[in-house]
Amino acid sequence: MIWKPNATVAAVVERDGRFLLVEEETVDGLRLNQPAGHLEPGESLLQAVVREAFEETACRVEPQALVGIYMTRFERPAKGIDVTFLRFAFACRLLAEESGRALDREIVRTTWLSADELRAAGDRHRSPLVMRTIDDWLAGRRFPLELIRTDPSCLWGGAQ
């Protein structure tokens, strides 16, 4: 058996005490998540978080710091699903919003929620990492982006 975790990224974007989130359709119904998604071939983690935030929210963001690296497991034994996710969450600065742009098909809408509003909606979180990431951001966890090194051999569209 070959095992490998799925590498994902998430953008933590705060504005006036509220956090940018998406409501997305999942197999479990409508769920809340940070703008997040999978690392694609040929891109760095920083390129991935910028791309995912834009595709899911129509917001242009700039990563400022790493909030944390998280690992979680999603299981549905009856369906033969057992996936481990390795999530890189970034504190991002909002640069611009492009209203009217189509979002990824599973995204129903974007919303801005306070930490308390998000905590109260815990039954609707996409994963336990949604609140954990916000709590870490609120605790001031910020690590320099220089911590992440991407070898040029991984990049197909230019260095970062």
- Rounded-to-integer distance, Cα 45 and Cα 113, Å: 25
- Asked if residue 22 belongs to a domain, the reply is yes
Q: Is 91 among the domain residues?
A: yes
How much of the chain is helix, strand and coil, in % rounded to 5? 25, 45, 30
Q: Is residue 36 part of a domain?
A: yes
Token reading at 127: 């994963």
Q: Which range of residues forms the domain containing residue 49?
A: 6-147
In a domain, 18, yes or no: yes
Residue 154 covered by a domain: no
Tally of structural domains, the chain: 1
Going by the DSSP 8-state scheme, the letter that residue 138 receives in this structure is H
The token pair at 15 is 């504005």
Q: Which residues contact 20 (CB under 8 A, 6 or more apart)?
A: 11, 13, 14, 34, 35, 53, 57, 59, 94, 110, 111, 112
Looking at the domain assignment, is residue 50 inside a domain? Answer: yes
Q: What is the mean pLDDT of each run of 10 residues along the chain (160 residues)?
A: 88 98 93 97 96 97 98 80 91 95 92 98 95 98 96 74
* CATH code for the domain in which residue 14 is found: 3.90.79.10
Provide the 3-class DSSP secondary structure of residue 1. coil
Structural domain includes residue 59: yes
pLDDT at 160: 46
Say what the pLDDT of residue 83 is: 85
Q: Is the pTM of this model over 0.95?
A: no
Residue 24 in any domain: the answer is yes
Contact 98, 110 (CB under 8 A): no
